Amino acid sequence: MPELPEFECQWPDEPNGPNGLYYPDDIEDRIPHPDTVPQGVLDVITRLKAASTYAVYNNSDATFTLFPKLPVELRRIIWRHSLPGTRVVAVFCDAYDQAPSFRSTTPVPTILHVSSEARMVALRYYELRFAVSTTPALPARTYFDSEIDSLYLGVGNFHPSGNDAIASFIRLLQPRDLNSIKNLIMDATIETIYPDEEYNQPGLMSLGLKNIESITIVGKTKKGEKDMVLQKSESQIGEFQAWKFNKDGKPSPWFLPKEATPREGDISAFWADLEENSFEESPSIQTLAFVSWNSLRKIPRWAGRVKFLQKTVFVQELGCLYQKDGVVNRLVELDEDPNQARYDELEDIINVGLEGSTRLDPIDVYLCQKACVCAIRHHQQRLPPAGLSDDFVATIDLKKALEMLDLNQ
């Protein structure tokens, strides 16, 4: 096999197109998309559609009574074909007033409970994973096939959450478990593949996830925006090619547009990061996919999760989810607006008459008044600033303050 040519990344340091779109300097010289869609692109949907529940084995249903008389080699082949295949394994981290521990709601593969022979075959593929590194007394409890299973890291599934929920989770894992993760799915709101200096987030690779091959980022997108996949080229070292999923669910090549939506601009930024880090920071990554909630809600395994997320709002300050009530979603919207003038005006309204040096932030007030609704059910709630009581903060009417803000417009 001839030696592949070296590839030098040529992406600009700053966006050089509309809506923050990145264009590589060597765009005219890139390797064309292959005629056949790479398997890694097709595997994205296969992994997402993977079931997490299985039929319960019942001996009374057995009709083939000659099975035990088959040669042992043939029985083991049959058991191997009875394995559930790729799964999405969601892991939760409990850490209230006790030592942290991991658990999963993904059912144990049924074959592990059928017979000793079937279990022996299954254990060639499944290992108990995700023991807490700081608590050796708490063993791993989640069966995981590192080669085909996907680990799902969802917002609201970890305690403590904090500004970087994924980092808190990963730092509790033992090195052997970190090294076992090859396929990762995570919510867009807590995505941290590479370091983010603005939010002081270290990034997945620097936390020890060195063997990840596939990452799928799931989240809300605007109507009409397509699911996308960045797939490492098989013929050019360090180069990734972009694919889009059409309405019929089939992928086709995607090219950087002359005009782009903000999401396409974000994808081009990921693209640039992938290629610039493909030799050192993240050489194992083969596939980076972006899939919308709209696509996921059509998949039975994801329908309940998407419905839950659509009724909540992610608040960065605590890294938690809060029930939509018209107030929290408006606060987050104002806070995320690049023009902070309206948020500052709201802050002035709620601080009218407040004596002393304490100045209350609108979102902080909300977090003191309401508990989160994260799936981990830790019901996090922020404490009032020093010198202010719970009763005082509870009297601040944020809904009324927002109404006054609209009147002043």
**Global pTM value:** 0.89
Cβ atoms 25, 11 nearer than 8 A: yes
Mean pLDDT of 324-329: 96
- Which residues is 252 bridged to in the sheet? 244
The pLDDT score that the predictor gives to residue 57 is 38
* Listed residue (315, 348, 377) closest to 157, CA to CA: 377
Both tokens assigned to 201 = 């987030």
CA distances from 340 to 335, 343, 364 (A): 7, 5, 16
From 150-154, 309-313, 349-353, 354-358, the region with the lowest mean pLDDT: 354-358
**What 3-state DSSP class applies to 288?**
strand
Residue 55 has pLDDT above 70, yes or no: no
24-37 tens-digit pLDDT: 988 888 899 999 99
* Listed residue (312, 281, 133) closest to 206, CA to CA: 281
Does 276 or 56 have the greater pLDDT score?
276
Give 309's DSSP letter. Answer: H
CA distances from 31 to 17, 28, 238, 289, 299 (A): 21, 9, 11, 20, 34
Give 27's DSSP letter. Answer: G
- Could you tell me whether strands 88-94 and 127-129 are parallel, antiparallel, or unpaired per DSSP bridges? unpaired
* Listed residue (40, 48, 11) closest to 286, CA to CA: 40
Mean pLDDT of 306-335: 93
